[in-house]
Structure 1
Amino acid sequence: MEEIYILNVLQYLLGYFEIYMCFEILRKVYKKENTKIKQCFEILICISLAVIEAINRSFRLYSILLIAVVIIVISITFSLIYKIKLRYTLLHTSLYCLSLELLDLFIIFTMGIVLHKEDLGIIIGRQNSISRILALFLGRALMFLISLAIVRYKELIDKNRIGSLVLILLSEIIGVIYFQSVYAGDSIPDLAKGYYMYFVIIILAIMFFAIYSIYRSALEESKIIKLRNRMLERNYEDLKVYYNDSRTLFHDYRAHITLLQKYLEENQIDKACLYLNSINKPLAELEKKIYTGNAVIDLVMNYKLSELKEKNIKIEYDIMPIDFGNYHFEESDIFVILYNLFDNAIEACENIYTREKWIYLSLRLINNMFMLCIQNSYEIEPKYENGELLTIKTDKHFHGIGMKSVKKIVEKYEGQLEYDNKQNIFEVSITLF
């Protein structure tokens, strides 16, 4: 009797751990911070679901209904607590729960073969025992190691590539339904052969997805780096010219003052004014540069200023000094958003022939929310397709870093992206949380 009690307690603790680990993985993937209130709510859900699992497992190790209840409760809870879209939490929670069951089945099949017990799956499935506790422990230990890898390489988990994840999920659903037949009394060796083949296919599919994700991420990162380097080179050359001019100006300060004094003493006011204008030019050029206190924003703004000047586009801005080092927003993401929105605004202004060309930019960081608003004048009515803004860019070298990239980043932070156009003013508003 005491042994059964200990086994039930261990089974409950393992159930609690698997549910808590699911919350932990979701938090790491979505980069969400935990608070005491949220943690207490999570613990309450973990305790409740662990009790339900313990009751169910007193009759049967797994059931479709149990898995569905766990997935739905965790998904809804995480979605409400952290304001994540439910379809994403359902997808990732389902992947976790079904992967864990497949690991359990894999371990059970392997134990049956190693111990030469064809009915081990039936025994483990229908009653609590040391073998069941061992199988559950090994499954959760393996999942814990996998979760460490997920945390380390969480950038590869792109919730926008839903298609690939859904295919993996469907494969897992089919596998779980089919291989649960071991509990109905099928032969362990025959079932295990099929399981191992299926397991290899799933592993290959996951590897393909990971390699493809790495390739896409590396490709986009390479494009961003090339673009940033090009902008840095241009800004560096401009600043170097201005710096050299200013250094010469300050180095010759005494000579300039002496000459100005001579002009004024001789009452040559016109010459003095002309000379002042000539030495003031380098300083005037430096004043045209934008300094917000953030290198990425300065980089994009100063790079675009020269382009705006060439195309006779007026620019106004209201930018709050922002140090992204104190927040969870990545500077590379801000770079992509700002560059592409500027690109689209300039593109719209280029097609204006009968009215003033102008762009207005506002950047704010309020209550840990990054708020960006960019407005521009236009003549050609913006076009949309499936709710997305269309572009007429001709630069194919950086094809792919456009509004889709902006939308992807906004979704990454569970933010908001809104368009508005009226009275020949187009506005894009972005809020990142």
Structure 2
Amino acid sequence: MLTVLLQGIQIFLSMLEVWLCYQLLYCTLLEKEYLNLKEKIIIWTNIIVWGILVSYNRNIIFFSHGVFILGLVFTGICTINIIKKYKRLIVSLLVMSYSLTALLDFLFLFLSMAVLDYPTTQAIYDGVSWLKLPIFLLSRVIMLICLFLLKKRGELFLKNILEYRKLLYIISVILVVLLRRYQVVMCRMVFGRIPYNGMNSGMSLLLLMVIILSVWGLYVKSLMLQKENQFLMSKDELMLQNYQNLMMNMEANKQRVHDIKHQLAVLQGYARDGEYEKFCQYLSEIDGDFYKFENKVWTGHRILDFILNQKKEAAEEKEIDFEICVTALMETSLSDGDISILIGNLLDNAIEACEQMQDGKRWILFKLKKRQRSLFIEISNSLGTVPRIKDGELLTSKKDKILHGYGLKSVKRIVQKYDGVFSFSVEEEAFKVKISFMK
């Protein structure tokens, strides 16, 4: 009875090892919420079947390099059959998960040699022993904790995993080499070919794992800082471009005011000479020019009005109805640059969503209200396809997931900068963004 119980626990721990691999994939490449029944069956078949097979193999030997390779192949085939892309990256993630778990197993086995005698250690390595369970349990608990911390604190890394794939390839190769090396060391100790001393090997393995993971973490942090700097530079370029466009627009207005004097003189000449046909024809021509260059005042805030006119013209050129419902703003605590990024990104996203519609009415509604010291902004647009949402975040349908999403991130950054509140919702085939600043 005890043997059956121990075997059941070992099977569970082996299944947990495979389950942890899939949890890592759920954080990176695999979207759990959108798995169909067939894909779920494939995953759980992989977890159960391979967990049972590995557990029985561990009754014979503590670790088998051949079984390790077969496990990677089996899980890799199951996963690639679901995702169907990023094959090398999938293999790298699986190698990292399985290798780290196996290295932790070796680490605890090495350290346990300090308190266990030689026959007991040999029985753990190549026989059936209940002493294997604490080692396997500790390794998987640590992996579970690490995965939890990665999900909580490494969100940016996980979402942009494709950018760091080369680094993951290198780390996975290093871990496999390290695993093979310490497997050989353990075998030689167990079979008496080298001195029986697990403490030195255990501490060296621990040190190497800490160094590798620390270097990995520092390198990833460095890449993230570079990306942040690039983003800030692009933000400054966007601000400069908006200001330049504004100045060009204002200069064009001055030029048009100057031209009006000459146009009025021509009209007066036609009226004075009684050439009413030419008068009407010329008036029609300049009326079209006035309409084309109209720069309407919506709020009284020059930057915001410029952006609204610019985006409204861009939307109407793409046959998108653009309605503006605002109150006088004049001034706000937000800087001109932050306003241009905030409103510009939101309206660009709305226009892009409308462009993707195959049929139906395409529209955008911009609302802005100011009450005492509070500012409320609401942007709604029509939808063709309901966006996917995961953990409160929008999932892109674009092929390039790396470059997508920084517009919305910059919006959230600005909202947080001014202690505002940001929310979005999907209501009756319409996407709605609400922002409020209470100070």
What band does the TM-score fall into relative to the shorter chain? 0.5 to 0.7
Query: Which residue of 2 is the match for residue 95 of structure 1?
Result: 96
The 3 A distance-change label for structure 1 pair 9 and 286 is closer
Tell me how far 1:198 sits from its aligned partner: 3.2
> Partners in 2 of 1:73 and 1:194 — Cα distance?
31
Q: Secondary structure at the match of 2:131?
A: helix
Query: Which residue of 2 is the match for residue 416 of structure 1?
Result: none
> Partners in 1 of 2:50 and 2:405 — Cα distance?
44
Q: Secondary structure at the match of 2:113?
A: helix
Tell me how far 1:239 sits from its aligned partner: 5.4
Q: Which moved more, 1:228-237 or 1:280-289?
A: 280-289
User: CA contact under 8 A between 1:124 and 1:132: conserved in structure 2?
Assistant: yes
Q: Which moved more, 1:202-211 or 1:83-92?
A: 83-92
Q: TM-score, normalised by structure 2?
A: 0.58
Q: TM-score, normalised by structure 1?
A: 0.59
> Partners in 2 of 1:4 and 1:46 — Cα distance?
22
User: CA contact under 8 A between 1:121 and 1:182: conserved in structure 2?
Assistant: no
The residue identity in structure 1 corresponding to 2:101 is: L
> Partners in 2 of 1:129 and 1:74 — Cα distance?
27
Query: Which residue of 1 is the match for residue 136 of structure 2?
Result: 136
> Partners in 2 of 1:10 and 1:288 — Cα distance?
64
User: CA contact under 8 A between 1:59 and 1:126: conserved in structure 2?
Assistant: yes
Query: Which residue of 2 is the match for residue 160 of structure 1?
Result: 166
- CA deviations 1:78-136 (Å, max 9, x no partner) are 111211343333332222212111101111222332x3545443232233333211111
Query: Which residue of 2 is the match for residue 83 of structure 1?
Result: 84
Mapped pair 1:282 → 2:293: yes
Query: Which residue of 2 is the match for residue 6 of structure 1?
Result: 5
Query: Which residue of 2 is the match for residue 202 of structure 1?
Result: 209
The 3 A distance-change label for structure 1 pair 31 and 112 is same
Query: Which residue of 2 is the match for residue 320 of structure 1?
Result: 356
Query: Which residue of 2 is the match for residue 37 of structure 1?
Result: 38
The 3 A distance-change label for structure 1 pair 205 and 49 is same
> Partners in 1 of 2:86 and 2:37 — Cα distance?
22
Q: Secondary structure at the match of 2:314?
A: coil
- CA deviations 1:342-362 (Å, max 9, x no partner) are xxxxxxxxxxxxxxxxxxxxx
Tell me how far 1:25 sits from its aligned partner: 1.2
> Partners in 1 of 2:405 and 2:150 — Cα distance?
30
Q: How does 1:16-415 map to 2 (within 5 A)?
A: 16-33=15-32, 34-113=35-114, 115=115, 117-152=117-152, 153=154, 154-155=158-159, 157=161, 158-161=164-167, 162-185=169-192, 190-235=197-242, 238=245, 269=280, 272-273=283-284, 276-277=287-288, 279-283=290-294, 286=310, 289-291=313-315, 319-320=355-356, 326=388, 328-329=395-396, 336=403
> Partners in 1 of 2:401 and 2:28 — Cα distance?
20
The residue identity in structure 2 corresponding to 1:203 is: V
Query: Which residue of 2 is the match for residue 255 of structure 1?
Result: none
User: CA contact under 8 A between 2:101 and 2:143: conserved in structure 1?
Assistant: yes
Q: Which moved more, 1:329-338 or 1:180-189?
A: 329-338
The 3 A distance-change label for structure 1 pair 187 and 6 is farther
The 3 A distance-change label for structure 1 pair 335 and 299 is farther
- RMSD (Å), alpha carbons: 4.2
Q: Secondary structure at the match of 1:160?
A: helix
The 3 A distance-change label for structure 1 pair 332 and 229 is farther
The number of equivalent residue pairs is 306
Tell me how far 1:155 sits from its aligned partner: 4.6
Query: Which residue of 2 is the match for residue 405 of structure 1?
Result: none
The 3 A distance-change label for structure 1 pair 334 and 275 is farther
Q: Secondary structure at the match of 2:293?
A: helix
The 3 A distance-change label for structure 1 pair 206 and 180 is farther
The 3 A distance-change label for structure 1 pair 320 and 225 is farther
- CA deviations 1:168-190 (Å, max 9, x no partner) are 43233323333343443567862
> Partners in 1 of 2:398 and 2:10 — Cα distance?
45
> Partners in 1 of 2:398 and 2:237 — Cα distance?
17
User: CA contact under 8 A between 1:125 and 1:183: conserved in structure 2?
Assistant: yes
Q: Secondary structure at the match of 2:93?
A: helix
> Partners in 1 of 2:133 and 2:291 — Cα distance?
81
> Partners in 1 of 2:194 and 2:209 — Cα distance?
22
> Partners in 2 of 1:332 and 1:241 — Cα distance?
35
- CA deviations 1:111-167 (Å, max 9, x no partner) are 332x35454432322333332111111111011112223434225752233335423
Q: Secondary structure at the match of 1:290?
A: helix
User: CA contact under 8 A between 2:39 and 2:82: conserved in structure 1?
Assistant: yes
> Partners in 1 of 2:175 and 2:250 — Cα distance?
57
Q: Any stretches of 5+ residues in structure 1 without a counterpart?
A: 250-259, 303-317, 340-433
The 3 A distance-change label for structure 1 pair 53 and 296 is same
- CA deviations 1:248-305 (Å, max 9, x no partner) are x9xxxxxxxxxx9xx99x96646744763563243388489534799559769x9xxx
